[in-house]
Amino acid sequence: MEKREPEGKIDLSVVIPVFEEKESLPELYTRLTKVVNQLSGRYELIFVDDGSKDGSSELLQNISRQDPRVTVIHLRRNFGKTIALSVGFKEAQGEKIITLDADLQDLPEEIPNLLAELDKGYDLVSGWKNKRKDPPAKKVNSWIFNHMVSFFTGVKIHDLNCGLKAYRRKVIEEIELYGELHRFIPVLASWRGFWVGEIKVEHHTRKYGKSKYGAERYLRGIFDLLTVILLTKYTQKPLHFFGLSGVILFFAGAFIDLYLAILWFSGQWISNRPLLLYGTLLVIVGIQFIFFGLLGELIVFSSRKDEDGKIKEKITHR
């Protein structure tokens, strides 16, 4: 980690995750500094080197030696974009924070537009690559993914995966990232009551290097979607999630068993009926689900945080 200027408050932090983007970095740095220099206020650039082995690390070190506004953090190995971003967020001191990919697919020149939108009162503004310059397969996958997320979460965002986003500090402080959850920040933020907006941004084909992700990202994305649904809808009330399915399963099983019991009392032989197995299984699984829900409640109860994060403003005459 490099030294930073000691005094003064920082207005804008730009966080850039970098994994093997050697060819793009010089151009990125030049264009980025040109843009942020024209803004009023103090800024810092935070490059998080996510275990690059292509010379990006040395290049970034050189840049930071010449420019005290540049902070470089090298991760021990390649941990993935989510971790890189969350490390960058912890380091960021700005009141506003911008994230930007290092590959120049999104333009640094869009930063003033994002900030202008943020100033309209939004807490988070996401870029929307409405004319994507990516291979067709990736476009289709993204289309399906974005529509699924907006359908299941109710958060109407067109493009979750845009690297270019602007945040107010409080959003970053509220949201904890792990796994591959960086793509869901707008969803998580919106569920926490932050005001989320989006603006169209230009998108370019990758000039140098290649994409660090393949199609399997979208498969994993489905699991992340499940996590997000659970996190946003049910973390405060796990019993509602497990309990409801538990009760439905239990009653389905109980109904089947009741039916078989009536047959048995009326003199029929039931131990050769596969239904008996299903009924009993449903009852047991149902009860277990209800207990999962109760256990979930215990976990939520013992790990609950204070509620300050949910308060927007407090007016008191105390």
Give the shortest CB-83-to-ligand UDP separation in angstroms: 8
Helix or strand holding residue 152 (H, E): helix 136-153
Tokens representing residue 170 in the block: 């409080």
Among ligand UDP, Mg ion, none, partner that 81 touches (CB below 5 to 8 angstroms by kind) = ligand UDP
Phi, psi for residue 50 in degrees, rounded to 5: -85, 60
Listed in sequence order, the residues at least 6 apart from 296 whose beta carbon sits closer than 8 Å to its beta carbon are 238, 239, 241, 242
- Cβ-based nearer residue to ligand UDP, 160 or 171: 160
Tokens representing residue 257 in the block: 């068993």
- Cβ-based nearer residue to ligand UDP, 126 or 232: 126
Sign of CA dihedral 234, 235, 237, 238: positive
Give the shortest CB-145-to-Mg ion separation in angstroms: 15
Give the shortest CB-225-to-ligand UDP separation in angstroms: 17
List Cβ<8 Å contacts ≥24 apart for 145-149: 145/218, 145/221, 148/222, 148/225, 149/184, 149/187, 149/225, 149/228
- Cβ-based nearer residue to Mg ion, 19 or 242: 19
Give the shortest CB-148-to-ligand UDP separation in angstroms: 17
Distance CA 271, CA 77 (A): 59
Among ligand UDP, Mg ion, none, partner that 213 touches (CB below 5 to 8 angstroms by kind) = ligand UDP
Tokens representing residue 315 in the block: 């007016």
Give the shortest CB-211-to-ligand UDP separation in angstroms: 3
Tokens representing residue 196 in the block: 């989320």
Distance CA 134, CA 140 (A): 10
- Cβ-based nearer residue to ligand UDP, 32 or 249: 32
Q: Which residues bind Mg ion (CB under 5 A)?
A: 103, 105
Give the shortest CB-213-to-ligand UDP separation in angstroms: 5
Sign of CA dihedral 203, 205, 209, 210: positive
- Cβ-based nearer residue to ligand UDP, 162 or 228: 162
Instruction: Say if CB 270 and CB 283 are below 8 A apart.
Output: no
Give the shortest CB-114-to-ligand UDP separation in angstroms: 17
- Cβ-based nearer residue to Mg ion, 26 or 193: 26
Distance CA 81, CA 17 (A): 6
Q: Which residues bind ligand UDP (CB under 6 A)?
A: 17-19, 21, 50, 78, 80-81, 84, 101-103, 105, 161, 163, 211-213
| CA geometry: angle 183, 111, 29, nearest 5 deg | 95
Phi, psi for residue 161 in degrees, rounded to 5: -90, 15
- Cβ-based nearer residue to ligand UDP, 101 or 123: 101
